Amino acid sequence: MAKLNMVEAINLGLREEMEKDDRVVVLGEDVGREGGVFRVTDGLQEKFGADRVVDTPLAESGIVGTALGMAIYGLRPVAEIQFDGFLYPCLDQITNHIGRMRNRSRGRFTCPLVIRVPYGGGIHAPEHHSESPEAILAHTPGIKVVIPSTPYEAKGLLLSSIRDPDPVLFLEPKRIYRAIREEVPEGDYTIPLGRARMVQEGKDITIIAWGAIVREALNAAEQLKGDKIEVEMIDLRTISPMDVETIVTSIRKTGRGVIVHEAPKTCGLGAEIIALINEKALLSLQAPIERVTGFDIPVPLMKSEHYYLPNPERIVMAVKKVMSF
């Protein structure tokens, strides 16, 4: 079993699924001859041809609209948007058409497509290249939102997303594209959508995170061992639909929680998770839930980006604040 990074794991998943199912097509800017801006689709056009790995114009709304038409007519398109900030021109297609197709047609049509998006900050990129739009997407009925945190998870979640009968936004944390290597099996395996991953068990406090932030939270949990604080760690994996049961079960066990995400604090997913906990486990809480997030500003440029992103030190401070109650 080879040790792969996330780029290689996603490439392997695409390659194997295209070999298995000739309905799967890949389209996007530079995905073919160049192999994508991060080389995630490297070698796919050479193997499967330009009819199944399609280089498109620089027109994000057109890419996603084309994928919608392909899906309705029986294909399983995987569209790539080069960077998260370029996703916003697609929102008309996503919110008004892709997410509504099943309901609009009263079930006559489904929309089995995946939109892959390199997502989040941490690579010292220019403006529009470090966005975290998961809360906007999760607020859109009819679509699923998936964010892997490891290479193994990325391949298994991608295969489930491609096979799902409904549209999936697949957000790939570009900061850890090549930062983690782990064993990733060749061949078929899937990870169910809508189920969180219990990264580690603990008795004192629950940390909830997703994407690249899982690694930061694990580093914080390791530091907290020195203070004899045992952290239970949840990786949401699927933002929508959210695994509420796993969250609530953990909070009822520990009585305390910290939620960590890159996106701005106001109206972020952390607020929604707190609302769910208050609805279903309020009487189990021993302290208010704390959030560690990005700030309510555009993601800074490279010189100041590290001040914006949650880090282990900020997470440790939040945990100690909650534990002090």
DSSP code string of 33-85:
SS--TTSTTTTHHHHH-TTTEEE--S-HHHHHHHHHHHHHTT-EEEEE-SSGG
For domain 197-323, the question of CATH label 3.40.50.970 is answered with no
For residue 295, report the phi and psi dihedrals to the nearest 5 degrees.
Answer: -95, 165
Alpha-helical (H) ranges within the chain are 6-20, 44-48, 60-72, 91-96, 101-104, 134-138, 151-163, 213-224, 244-254, 269-281, 305-308, 312-323
Q: Which one from 97, 129, 139, 261 is the annotated catalytic residue?
A: 129
CB atoms within 10 A of CB 304: 10
Q: Output the pLDDT for position 18.
A: 98
Write down the pLDDT at residue 301.
Answer: 86
Nearest alpha carbon to residue 54 among 88, 85, 77, 86? 77
From first CA to last CA, the distance across the chain in angstroms is 47
261 annotated active-site: no
What does the pLDDT read at residue 130? Answer: 87
Q: What is the pTM of this model?
A: 0.96
For residue 150, the SS3 value is coil
Q: For residue 261, which of 213, 194, 322 has the smallest C-alpha distance? A: 213
Instruction: Spell out, as residue ranges, where the chain has pLDDT lower than 50.
Output: none
Domain residue extents for the chain: 3-183, 197-323
Give the pLDDT of residue 291. 98
Question: How much is the pLDDT for 60?
Answer: 95
CATH number of 3-183: 3.40.50.970
Decide if 3-183 and 197-323 have a common fold: yes
From CA 224, how far away is CA 248, in angstroms rounded?
Answer: 23
